[in-house]
Chains A and B, each alone.
Chain A
Amino acid sequence: MINKAFSFCCTCVLLLLSLLANAQQQNTEKGPVNEFFRSNDKIYVIVGVLLIIFAGIIIFLISLERKISRLERRDHQERQ
């Protein structure tokens, strides 16, 4: 059940995102954050991209680690 609800939520969010993409406007906002990301030929955008991917991989590894730990604990209890 949880999985179905989760995938439904994901689909809704993605559909909403596609609506956002339709209503696209060029981001011309000023401000220190925007200035920073546009400086140096926008290299910081790609640094951000890589940090997001890296964070995703680390979060995935941590969740895998916790799942394996849970299985090991269950296995340990079964043996006693």
Chain B
Amino acid sequence: MSDNCLKKWVLRTAIALLGFPVVLPVFAQQELLLHSSPEIWHSNATNPAFFPEEKKFVLGLPGQALDASHSGSITYGDVFVKNGNRTVVDFGGIIDKLDSSNKVQFDQRVETVSLGVRLPFRLALQAGHAMRFSGAAVYPRSLPQLLWNGNGPYIGEELAIAPSASLARFNEWSLGLSRKIGTVNVGARVKYLTGTNALSTDPAHASASVYTSPDIYQLTLNTDYAFYSSSIITAFDTSGYGFDLQFADFRSVTFTRNTGLAFDLGLHARIGERLSLDASVLDIGGKITWDTDSDYYISQGTYTYEGQVFPGVDIVNGADNLNFETKLDSLNDIFKFSRTATSFETALPLRAYAGVNFDLTKKFELGISGYLSDRPGTENDTYALGASARYQIIKPLTVAAMISINQRNAANLGLQVFLRPGPVQLYFTSDNLLSAFNPANNPAVNFRFGAALAL
């Protein structure tokens, strides 16, 4: 039946291009509050000039960060609900909340290990490895509408169902050097990138629509849709109704033939006893060329399913019968993606941080931080600006709070807990505290945690 076909096709597409991010842990950090804490080793990820003061050797232990959001008020928990032992996709409660066009973005960073060593001549060397997963998607409201309600309620309407998406999962191998020049610490870092998975829709072929005629519900399916994939989609199975996407195995691979470079620059200046300034630009020129299992998939065509067409003269003569055989196999033809092996490039979002901190007392500090992210080719640029206060309750325990504004929300309350039992650094930080403890029920999620050993 066509309902099966439509459902499967749209559902698979949705999972592939929207649901894909959630196969990974829903967890991470927006870096604004972290960035305001240079004494935390992992803040070095936001500025290569950061190096904890008075420390000569730092071993970065694992840490994770996630900054993710959905436009509007849609939360993860709205969409994915438990049904017994299953997690099912439930669009019932969100369709009315969706805009005509909706955005999802996420940046995930998993620090595996890193190292920092102070060298003679006021130099400091840094190296590390991190796994990053970055993506954004824009999808029309009509996609979940069609999935959830069927095409019946949308007779006479052309439903655009094509999402656009760009996502990449890759390893970041970094090597950096910083030098203190006067009171200014200047840092630079080169990052060797090895990509593991990528998916990027082609803006030149970004349409797919379903039209149900008010006549007798003839279905017109129109596609001009294409995307690049590397090690994500391995095949389309069109043997049954609709098609099944065959996903690649998402194993962690550290070295691949998908390589690229990116550069970070930063400075951290102390002006006087109480004031410090910092600025950084990250992922400069960041780009990965995808060669491994990289393909270009494109589907183009218009297909109108009009049901069976009986020759009238045969019906009149009784020579034919009304056989309601639904020839939906031909639907496969319209959705059949042609696959061409090709290499392609994805660009990393260019990010920039800037901040100023002022020590009111030895234990109490105020700061202002700003963040910009430019995601090439998408409308998912982000920004954040926050004011923070930091207080050292006891020597091993510092807490910080931040009020920030970003493109989603005018008032985000952030919190940071920083523990320093001896040489150990443990921290948890979030630019959006409420979401941090209940990420499934917030449209924007932002937090980071990690550990380090600093001597």
* Mutual binders A and B: no
Residues of B within 8 A of A (CB): none
